[in-house]
Chain A
Amino acid sequence: MTRSLPLLLALGLASACKGSPPLSPTDRPEGPRVVSLQPNATEILFALGAGPNVVGATRYCNHPDEARAVPRVGGILDVSLEAVLAARPDIVVGSPSVLRGHLGDLLDASGIRQVPVVFETADDVEPGIRAIGTAIGRGEAAEALAASYRTDLATLAGRAHRDPPLTVLLVVGRNPLVVAARSSYLGDLLARMGVANVASSDTMPYPTWSLEQAIRSAPDVIVDGAVEAGDLAALLADAGLSAARDGRVIRVRDEALLRPGPGTGRAALDLADEIRRVAADLPTRP
């Protein structure tokens, strides 16, 4: 091993002296170079038409499809500082907790502007769109997007309301069975659309349930938002949930729904409509 070390060292130094590769004129985009450390922010950037400006994103930034081609700088918690700096951004967008630590210090020292954004509930999307839009100089487009989002949310109110309200179980994890409770972002969407969430916990947003609890809750409709593959409907049907047996299970894969973002309003409207359709033959109060 000692013999190959000098070789390794020499190679390392040789490659190191090259530095970052220079950009050719054709791929320099208009506007500021942005690194996005949040998939929601990436979605917004692309929705604002600033896709070409995004020079770095997390490996979870898969939506829209074009985002998959953006160079990766790490994950959500495991961001590579070097990769961020190597992308030579003008702006870095991310959650406050990530920007607060050592990364924030380095960005400050480099004179790189930081835009902290929070995406925990559906209400966070509008201010997020505005903050990002203002930072990249697309304020007008941001206003338009925010307005459309607000309209969608307004239309969502009570969209799936019935008397008595439909009871819904929203599953986000198959094994173990993790459900979205009232205090979660998804639970909040359900509340807006006027259905009753069978998981009414206010303390834990995503509690783990036993199958027994699921059976007892006897929901009218089941929304399957679980990321794992597998037939949740069959599992719950075997367990005896009538909603599953009678085919009132809605499979949701849309990222736009599962994560607060510009497309959330639209996706939530679609879900509300689907819930109503599926529960159409359930009796209502006269």
Chain B
Amino acid sequence: MGLVSRHRIPAFFAALAVLLVASVLSSLALGATPLDLLGALTGDAASDRLVLLRERLPRTLLAAIVGASLSTSGLVFQAVLSNPLADPYVIGVAGGAALGGSLALVLPGIALLGHAGVSAAAFLGGLGAVALTWRLSRDRRGRMRTYEVLLVGVVFNTIASAAIMFLKSVVRAEKAQEMLLWLMGTLSSDVRSPGAILGTLAVALFAMGLLFASAPALNALAMGEEDAAAVGVDPARTTRRVFLAGSLLVAAAVSVAGMIGFVGLIVPHAVRALVGSDHRVTIPGSALLGAAFLVLADLLTRLMFPVFETEAPVGVLTALIGGPAFIWLLKRGGDRP
């Protein structure tokens, strides 16, 4: 049971919406340098207007989309794998996307396409890895065996890591540095075009819609496969659908922002601790909270610019905030997916 009682759930969503809006506004108004918000909006401060519309706005939107995607996929993977430690990267998507993106960064041909090429390669790499994991972990009846999925995912990630490490050692220093930045997860890349943002948003909405529609089935699956089947859920079909939608979310997120960690692990736990485990509530809840969380984390990286003389990769911050927050939540009274 959550800390928030059933009747207060609409209030919970209202609070989340307020949090998200406030985060977005803060992210637009604040940053590495002071911004004349009024001037930017009216057009008086031309340079500030440029920063607002072409830098902070796209970046904030991306942060929200990526945060929502990672949190929602983490939530459903934890449910379908019955494992509270599952994060969005566990099924090999991370390895595939990282490998795809790294190859794109270093292979001369693809590098010409710039960041669009990297994103596309990462997206395809991620989905390819999922397809491979899927093939290797199915049983005769086409059902996914969760133990195998976890195993294949971990092994695949390890192999991909090794391949990436090898790539890093044979390319030039600056290419290696580029790879490292991308792998650490950052929202300060060149992905800013309206096309990229709309595309990512479309994929994310589609996948999240699919997951929301599967929410009752996910609830039933938590009782065990046989019980779920007895009340009318097809476990194989549901798992497949969740797997696909979740993978789309992760692939899309990684392709634009590299591998931002912890969001997909901590936000689902936080949401469940607050409102219980009904997926009809936790799926939209994770999306909203994840979006706000990443927007705020990214804002923090930019606010800390004067301190480090750089914007730390946001993945570092999500781990630094997420880690202690996770432990605090654990102490308050655990929960299970």
Contacts and interface: CB of A to CB of B under 8 A. Distances in A.
Q: Do chains A and B touch in the complex (CB under 8 A)?
A: yes
Interface of A: 1-2, 5-6, 8-9, 12-13, 15-21, 59, 72, 74-78, 80-83, 85-86, 88, 100-102, 105-106, 109-110, 204-206, 208
Given A77-B181, A102-B192, A208-B169, A2 B18 contact: yes
B223 interface: no
Interface of B: 15, 18-19, 22, 25-26, 29-39, 45-48, 50-51, 54-56, 114-115, 169-170, 172-174, 177-178, 181, 186, 188, 190, 192, 302, 305, 309-311
* Secondary structure class of chain B's binding surface, majority of residues: helix
Contacts of B115: 101
Contacts of B56: 82
Contacts of B172: 205-206
B29 A13 contact: yes
Nearest to B29: A16
B55 A82 contact: yes
11 contacts: A5-B19, A6-B22, A9-B22, A16-B34, A18-B36, A77-B177, A82-B56, A86-B33, A86-B47, A88-B47, A102-B192
Contacts of A100: 114
A270 B22 CA distance: 60
A19 B169 contact: no
B174 A18 contact: no
Contacts of B302: 80, 82
B50 A72 contact: no
Contacts of A101: 114-115, 190
A59 B308 CA distance: 9
B34 A8 contact: no
B35 A76 contact: no
A268 to B, nearest CB: 21
A72 B309 contact: yes
Most chain B CB atoms below 10 A, which of A8, A82, A204: A82
Given A77-B178, A88-B47, A102-B192, A206 B173 contact: yes
B188 A13 contact: no
Given A17-B37, A78-B188, A208-B169, 18 more contacts: A5-B22, A9-B22, A9-B25, A13-B25, A17-B38, A18-B34, A19-B36, A19-B39, A74-B309, A75-B310, A77-B178, A78-B311, A80-B311, A82-B302, A83-B32, A83-B305, A102-B192, A206-B172
Given A16-B36, A106-B50, A106-B54, A59 B310 contact: yes
B46 A110 contact: yes
B288 to A, nearest CB: 13
B52 to A, nearest CB: 10
A8 B56 CA distance: 18
A8 B26 contact: yes
Nearest to B115: A101
A18 B29 CA distance: 11
Contacts of B50: 85, 106, 109-110
A109 B22 CA distance: 29
User: Which are the 9 A-B pairs with shortest beta-carbon distances?
Assistant: A19-B36, A86-B33, A101-B190, A72-B309, A59-B309, A16-B29, A102-B190, A16-B37, A82-B32
B53 to A, nearest CB: 10
Contacts of A21: 34
Contacts of A59: 309-310
A51 B38 CA distance: 34
A109 B54 contact: yes
A6 B25 CA distance: 11
B34 A19 contact: yes
A17 B115 CA distance: 34
Contacts of A204: 170
A82 B31 contact: yes
Nearest to A21: B34
Contacts of B55: 81-82, 102, 106
Contacts of A16: 29-30, 34-37
Nearest to A95: B174
A179 B191 CA distance: 36
Given A2-B18, A80-B305, A110 B47 contact: yes
B165 to A, nearest CB: 13
B63 to A, nearest CB: 15
**Most-contacted residue by chain A among B19, B38, B55, B115 (CB, 10 A):** B55
B51 A76 contact: no
A2 B19 contact: yes
A80 B190 contact: no
Contacts of B36: 16-20
A110 B30 CA distance: 21
Contact of B47 (A9, A80, A83, A85): A85
Residue among A21, A59, A88, A106 having the largest count of chain B Cβ atoms under 10 Å: A106
Contacts of A86: 32-34, 47, 51
Nearest to A20: B34
B309 A12 contact: no
A213 to B, nearest CB: 15
Contacts of B51: 81-82, 85-86, 106
Nearest to B26: A12
Nearest to B172: A205
Given A13-B29, A74-B311, A106-B55, A19 B188 contact: no
